[in-house]
Structure 1
Amino acid sequence: MSGAPTSPSLPPLREVIARHDLGAKKTLGQHFLLDLNLTRKIARVAGVEPGDRALEIGPGPGGLTRALLEAGAETVAVERDARCLAALAELEAAYPGRLRVIEGDGLAVDERALLRPGPAKIVANLPYNISTELLVKWLRANHESAPLWSVMTLMFQKEVADRILAAPGSKTYGRLSVIAQAASRPARAFDLPARAFTPPPKVDSSVLVFSPTPARLDFLTTLERVTHAAFAQRRKMLRSSLKALLGEALEAALEDAGVEPTARAENVTVEQFIKLAEICERMRQILRVRSPAQ
């Protein structure tokens, strides 16, 4: 196809919000992005093209949804707030057969059941209160089964984005940094000031783009357990924090991963954590073979 379908004439988003009484709810982590130039920029950064399939969680009144549809994507939008459904239904009518709106909780929805076979592009201005849970859910999805997504373009609070991208040795480096960087290739696209949103949040936001890793990480859930233990008390040395997980094999595992026993989690690289998780998973598999089900 040579370009996106012609966009229908739609009322301004502020008019839609007023007409449907869609004041943002703090309990749902809602901060609406109404500037269509910015939502179009997000769609461009996501690489959305005609014929793509997109998944959006938390569309609200549909600002980003409009940009995805304008770019030509067939879009599935999952919205928990029933107040927004009428406004989104107007978009469904304006783009016949191109938008499917599902009322539901993004954390509970089965994305694979909503999308046709093959990976889709996930593009979302995530509700702040569930943003990291959704990210980890989608990272797992690409490593536990066939790929769910080909690229994710997601908006977070800037401080959360900083944690996702943090390097070892920094104050913001932690469990989320390791999991995100092990299971994907995250990069910052651009930042947005709080004033860009309605109502303005107390912090700025960042748009991050996540590319898939070249290979599947079959033991991602084990990596989650290792990082949870390591960072639960981040000032502890790993020989103490990982003792419960690795037991008598701890010293050998640390040596194999190239980690000093006196090291603390904040100074261990993503690659070293992956190696520790791989060793832990191998031990778990050996124990399973030695202890068959009764």
Structure 2
Amino acid sequence: MGTIDGLPPLREVIRAHDLVAKRQLGQNFLLDLNLTAKIARSAGDLSGCDVLEVGPGPGGLTRGLLAEGARRVLAVEKDARCIPALEEIAASAPGRLEVLLGDALEVDVLAHLTPPIKVVANLPYNVGTELLIRWLSAPWPPYWSSLTLMFQKEVAERIVAKPRTDHYGRLALLAQWRCNVAIVMVLPPEAFTPAPKVHSAVVQLTALAEPRFPCDFGVLQRVTAMAFGQRRKMLRSSLKGMGPGIEGLLESVGIPPTARAEEIGLEQFCALARAVAGQNEALPRA
């Protein structure tokens, strides 16, 4: 769409504000504005949306989101050192960027955003998965229409994985139950400052109006956590904590008790979650 005029190159911003990336904050700064613009574009049309950005750092992606026409951007940053650099961007885009100093795990972002809302972020590695689980755990349909998020490539592969693959597990099931998911970009370590030891990838998660198959989210979480917590064991063993009738429940939904978690697809896991919930409702209450 365009650029935010009058701003210095990001390397100058980092020098001016002494923004040495901190490992304990999971910081790896993306300084190539062509790449940050490409990430912003991958989120689709932003012109009618508020955008939540978590961990903006010196503001490379923030600039891209504003340049691509985001109606408003809420940038939540935990590192107070980055706030002056972000405020310089806000001054160049009056009324379109709000900067909050705080922990994204604790901030009430809905007090600052107006739907429709998209989330676009180069997530700090140390909280990325936890934030994703929280966004997927929200009442459905969620307040956001899509998540465009950068993770370590291995985490991204876990989100989009299919059954009978090495990366398939609970994260894939929870994400694909409620969203369409796809990896839209892969970035090498040298794209970042400092360079991490691994590749990174941008994942697009688009919220479905309703989950693909009916079941209770909490029960699905428990079933998949137990099943993949001991993924090499047969399900009759890994799920025995669900109760003495687990073999019968597995058979009732067409899952062989001798199968392993990595062999079972989303629809069958949802069916099992419904069966477990039904069994719990049938139990006598004390």
TM superposition score category, shorter chain reference: over 0.9
- SS where residue 232 of structure 2 aligns? coil
| 1:269 has 2:265 as partner | yes
Shift of 1:265: 0.7
Match for residue 125 of structure 2 among 117, 128, 143:
128
Could you give the per-residue CA deviations for residues 17-50 of structure 1, whole angstroms, max 9, x where no partner exists? 1100001000011000011111110111101332
- 2-side partners of 1:46 and 1:124: how far apart? 10
> Is the contact made by 1:183 and 1:220 (CA closer than 8 Å) also made in structure 2?
no
Amino acid at match of 1:80: K
2:19 is matched with which residue? 22
1:256 is matched with which residue? 252
Could you give the per-residue CA deviations for residues 113-135 of structure 1, whole angstroms, max 9, x where no partner exists? 3322x341000001011111111
Shift of 1:285: 4.0
- SS where residue 120 of structure 2 aligns? strand
Amino acid at match of 2:229: A
1:147 is matched with which residue? 142
Runs (5+) with no aligned partner, structure 2: none
Match for residue 101 of structure 1 among 95, 99, 102:
99
- 2-side partners of 1:11 and 1:285: how far apart? 62
- SS where residue 152 of structure 1 aligns? strand
- 2-side partners of 1:214 and 1:51: how far apart? 20
1:232 is matched with which residue? 229
- 1-side partners of 2:168 and 2:240: how far apart? 22
Match for residue 12 of structure 1 among 9, 12, 15:
9
> Is the contact made by 2:141 and 2:209 (CA closer than 8 Å) also made in structure 1?
no
Shift of 1:282: 3.0
- SS where residue 100 of structure 2 aligns? strand
Runs (5+) with no aligned partner, structure 1: none
2:238 is matched with which residue? 241
**1:1-294 paired onto structure 2 within 5 Å:** 7-73=4-70, 74-116=72-114, 118-141=115-138, 144-216=139-211, 219-245=216-242, 247-287=243-283, 290-291=284-285
- 1-side partners of 2:220 and 2:107: how far apart? 24
- 1-side partners of 2:236 and 2:46: how far apart? 50
- 2-side partners of 1:225 and 1:136: how far apart? 13
- Pick closer, same or farther for the CA change 1:203–1:90 going to 2, 3 Å: same
> Is the contact made by 1:48 and 1:68 (CA closer than 8 Å) also made in structure 2?
no
- 1-side partners of 2:94 and 2:29: how far apart? 24
Comparing 48-57 and 73-82, the one that deviates more: 48-57
Q: Percent identity?
A: 54
Shift of 1:174: 1.5
Shift of 1:183: 2.4
Larger helix proportion of the pair: 1
- 2-side partners of 1:219 and 1:110: how far apart? 25
- 1-side partners of 2:75 and 2:146: how far apart? 16
TM-score, length-normalised on structure 1? 0.91
> Is the contact made by 1:119 and 1:147 (CA closer than 8 Å) also made in structure 2?
no
Comparing 101-110 and 216-225, the one that deviates more: 216-225
- 2-side partners of 1:146 and 1:269: how far apart? 23
Could you give the per-residue CA deviations for residues 77-101 of structure 1, whole angstroms, max 9, x where no partner exists? 1000010011111111111110111
Comparing 277-286 and 95-104, the one that deviates more: 277-286
Aligned-residue CA RMSD (Å): 1.8
- 1-side partners of 2:215 and 2:244: how far apart? 24
Shift of 1:197: 0.5
- 2-side partners of 1:5 and 1:50: how far apart? 13
- 1-side partners of 2:57 and 2:22: how far apart? 10
TM-score, length-normalised on structure 2? 0.93
- Pick closer, same or farther for the CA change 1:285–1:83 going to 2, 3 Å: farther
Comparing 12-21 and 167-176, the one that deviates more: 167-176
